[in-house]
Amino acid sequence: MSLPESKFEGFIQGDYQFSELITSILPGEPSQYTIAVLISVFLKSEGASRVAEVQAKKLSKMGYSVVVYTFESDISPRGYRVEIIDSWVQTHVPRLVKPYRALFPLNRWKSLKISSDLKEASLIILHQETLVSAAYLAKKYYGAKLIFWHHHIAESRFMTLEERVYNLVVSPFNWRKIKKFDFVVSISEHSKNVLRSEKGIDSLVIYDEIDSDRFNEGNLNGTTIRTKYNIAADDPVILFVGRLTPTKNIHSLISAFKIVKARIPRAKLIIVGGSYDKRYAEYLMRDCDPGVIFAGFVPDDDLPDYYAACDVYATCSLVEGFNLPLVEAQAYGKPVVAFDIGPHKEVVKNGFLVTEEHLNEFGETLINILDNLDKTPQTPKLWYMAADDQNDAV
């Protein structure tokens, strides 16, 4: 199937725009088609879920009938519907939920049942591997077109024992089916290269889209957040958004912040994100500098206010397939600082990349940015150059 040349002139440009790919696969009037989005969990706090939510809303606005199939959801659908996949395990034995979902692709009977529910779907977009068998059977028996939305393959050095076992036992079964999908989409050139290297699969690159209605410079109003945390209007604020997990390397960000605090005592670091590792979260909060504010999970509707309140966005994350918060912060005109890992060369256009784990350089870069800020109303005085030009900036 041939695809049109991309005309996307957005913040970053991949091979195609999401809407271009869909209309190429499903020509004609959108109202005649049903599109199913399959994802393990559809939660406000989960990165892939945020991408799937934007897709579902966009497809609905385009005129398609859209349904999301998932095991768990706390997202209120807007213009589409959500179908929860129920099971006795989820209801009666919660401690087995994780292995049940991991092994779900091997559950042929349940996968057949879901594929039957999907028989009216002209196109299925699969996020993550959990429901791969259901999607594959819908193609086999009912002729649905399939897209696998590849977010990223975890690096072995960060895998838990359970994840290693899953990759050895279950994942190869899933990828044999994914290789038979009509399209595979990666969310960055980095993820595309990893996929080709690890699985021998080529893919299109379509960068994750953000909700431009909410994440843009026209929505600059950080007053409520500064008031909430008793932060003065002229106190420099650094922001991080993401789950509290070791791969996000938040302890290194806090260490870099100490360097900033030694030179700029009034600086604050706001960490937005839910705790996915209780021991790690407790370690982060133990004897932490009072200038570090743990905001916890923040509803998606409130997140723009945090971007508006900050002066610079920073992340020391070690593993990313894309990094939505980096893009959202830049959409607000905020400079960003990140480690030079994975896809960051692709997405950092207004900020700086620092060699991985060079914390002194990271802290000094933040200091340089904050020292050059115009303190009226929280807009950078300097537009920082793209990563390729960073050695000439500031």
Single-letter amino acid, residue 62: M
- 359 and 267 both lie in a single domain: yes
Q: Domain containing 354 — which CATH number?
A: 3.40.50.2000
Residues 224-268 pLDDT 10s: 999 999 999 999 999 999 999 898 999 999 999 999 999 999 999
> Is the pLDDT score of 22 beyond 80?
yes
Tokens representing 300?
């998606």
CA triplet 30, 137, 32: central angle to 5 degrees?
15
Residue whose entry in the numeric block shows the structure tokens 């790919």: 21
Domain that holds residue 259: 217-388
- 96 and 188 both lie in a single domain: yes
Is the residue at 6 inside a domain?
no
Residues 37-92 pLDDT 10s: 999 999 988 889 989 999 999 999 999 999 999 999 999 999 999 999 988 888 78
- 101 and 192 both lie in a single domain: yes
Long-range contacts of 26-32, Cβ-Cβ distance < 8 Å, separation of 24 or more = 26/64, 26/122, 26/123, 26/145, 29/63, 30/62, 30/63, 30/64, 31/63, 31/64, 31/65
- 153 and 288 both lie in a single domain: no
- 236 and 324 both lie in a single domain: yes
Is the residue at 167 inside a domain?
yes
> Is the pLDDT score of 155 beyond 80?
no
Single-letter amino acid, residue 378: Q
Best CA proximity match to 305, nearest among 329, 338, 323: 329
- 128 and 245 both lie in a single domain: no
Residues 258-272 pLDDT 10s: 999 999 999 999 999
Best CA proximity match to 296, nearest among 268, 324, 323, 276: 276
Q: What does the pLDDT read at residue 16? A: 80
Phi-psi category of residue 361: left, alpha or beta, with phi > 0 → left and psi -120 to 50 → alpha:
alpha
- 162 and 30 both lie in a single domain: yes
Residues 270-325 pLDDT 10s: 999 988 788 898 999 998 888 999 999 998 888 999 999 999 999 999 999 999 99
